[in-house]
Structure 1
Amino acid sequence: MSRPVPRADRESQWLKGVLDLAVLAALAREGSAYGYGLLGSLAEAGLAGLKGGTVYPVLGRLEDEGLVRSEWVVGGAGPARRYFFLTAAGRAALDEGRTGWTAFAGRMTTALEG
């Protein structure tokens, strides 16, 4: 008999499927963000516990896909930071993702309650 999947593991798997969408949404809210600042924004949205080692590869992939762009910004009180910005293609992907997520969440609610 198999053991039930621990809640944290299950939620981790769910998050892997939608982290790109969460990052795009956070950038849309913030306008721009550097990696660790983005972690704070995601934590405020209820996704606490993410690490830079999780988010930076997502940002790199989104940049490779043309959904975000980045630039180095020199700060007065420390080293330069790499800021990420949503592109027009990223905004379109976010809109499409919101629509898809809403439909999927509705189907899951039906499946779970039905």
Structure 2
Amino acid sequence: MNKKIFGIAVIFAAVLSACSDSSSNSNVYSCDQNTVEEPVDHICYESSEENFTECKDGSIPFQRKTTLTPGRGCPSGALKICDAELVPGHPYTIYVYNEETAQMSCKRIRGF
């Protein structure tokens, strides 16, 4: 009986930890921005608000070849993470994946 309860507790803990990952969190929305022309750039924006950004190819004019991919959380492995709030009361997070951009201040990454 104790082994059975222990097994259920282990499974329950595994399920809880899996649900805490932002990529599987149903309350997180993301927009993964990849620029494939030199200089290559990879930034992802994440928010708890579904419509915090237009995240579809062609919605934002870019001067370089860039793809936008909507999702349910930014990928792991970010080199820098910046909190942002363009509009008061609507916070979001910026994840930076390339070294050059990661060396910038969060203020510069946010565009301020």
Please tell me the TM-score bracket, short chain as reference.
under 0.3
TM-score (norm 1): 0.25
TM-score (norm 2): 0.26
More helix by share: 1
More strand by share: 2
Flag the structure with larger Rg.
Answer: 2
